[in-house]
């Protein structure tokens, strides 16, 4: 028989107690039997779908060398909780020559032409969304700059509120002063002096 991997997951122990994983297994087994697949299960218990660092999920990925034809899940949200994660993982499976089927999500079957087309459409939407977010971020930043908003770290100040001249710190250091001596000379604490020295890769002694 053709090998297939079945992946099931419950987010909480309560879901496990209520039989979520067993129901997923039953649905996957029914599908696999109808298609003639020999199923091997990987089961995560009380693991959030937001986290891809799931023991059985990772074990399944590491076992792809056993050459399963497909990975089968009962519902797509058992496999991934975001479109970006889903597309990334499906691309990885595709590179390994492994298909993906979600039993209860019509059309999610990358072993068929229609399923692969749907995957491409989802990928296009995800890229469009990323571009829109980046565009809005750039526009917001430009508007903020036009209003005089400054980005980055705030300027370093001395104890009396005047700004610390980084060039002066570097100059004093090159004259051989220690960080503590520079701080005393500028009337500030040693912390901002140390920061300037580190940022300019100068010795702090």
Does the residue 143 lie in any domain? no
Looking at the structure, tell me whether residues 85 and 186 fall in a common domain. no
State the CATH number of the domain containing residue 189.
1.10.10
Residue 151 has pLDDT above 60, yes or no: no
Residue 107: name the closest of 94, 97, 92, 122 by CA.
Answer: 122
How many domains are contained in the chain?
Answer: 2
Catalytic positions: 11
pLDDT at residue 53 in the model = 66
Considering the domain boundaries, does residue 146 fall inside one? no
Each residue's pLDDT tens digit, 63-76: 998 889 999 999 88
Average pLDDT over residues 38-44: 94
In which band, very low, low, confident or very high, does the pLDDT at 35 lie, cut at 50, 70 and 90? very high
What domain range includes position 62? 2-125
Residue 25 has a pLDDT of 96
Q: Which long-range contacts (CB under 8 A, 24 or more apart) does 153-160 make?
A: 156/188, 156/192, 156/195, 156/196, 157/188, 157/192, 158/186, 158/187, 158/188, 159/187, 159/188, 159/189, 160/187
pLDDT at 48: 63
Q: Taking 60 as the threshold, does the pLDDT of residue 3 lie above it? A: yes
C-alpha closest to that of 71 among 182, 178, 80, 134: 80
Are 83 and 174 members of one domain?
Answer: no
pLDDT for the residue numbered 129: 61
Locate 112 and state its tokens. 């068929």
* Range name among 79-88, 113-122, 125-134 with the lowest pLDDT average: 125-134
CATH number at residue 27: 3.40.50.1390
- Is the pLDDT reported for residue 49 higher than 80? no
């Amino acid at each position: 028989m053709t090998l297939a991997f079945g992946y099931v997951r419950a987010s909480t122990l309560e879901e496990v107690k209520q039989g979520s994983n067993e129901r997923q297994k039953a649905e996957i087994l029914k599908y696999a039997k109808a298609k003639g697949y020999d199923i091997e299960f990987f089961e995560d218990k009380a693991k959030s779908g937001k986290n891809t660092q799931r023991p059985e999920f990772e074990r399944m990925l590491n076992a792809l060398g056993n050459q399963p034809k497909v990975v089968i899940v009962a519902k797509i949200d058992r496999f991934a909780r975001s479109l970006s994660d889903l597309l990334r993982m499906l691309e990885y499976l595709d590179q390994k020559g492994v298909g993906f089927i979600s039993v209860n999500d019509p059309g999610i079957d990358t072993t068929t032409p229609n399923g692969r087309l749907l995957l491409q459409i989802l990928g296009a939407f995800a890229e469009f969304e990323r571009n829109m977010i980046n565009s809005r971020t750039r526009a917001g930043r430009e508007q903020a700059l036009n209003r005089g908003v400054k980005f980055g770290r705030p300027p370093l100040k001395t104890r009396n509120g005047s700004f610390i001249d980084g060039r002066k710190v570097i100059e004093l250091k090159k004259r051989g002063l220690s960080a503590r001596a520079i701080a005393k000379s500028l009337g500030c604490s040693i912390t901002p002096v140390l920061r300037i020295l580190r940022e300019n890769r100068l010795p702090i002694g």
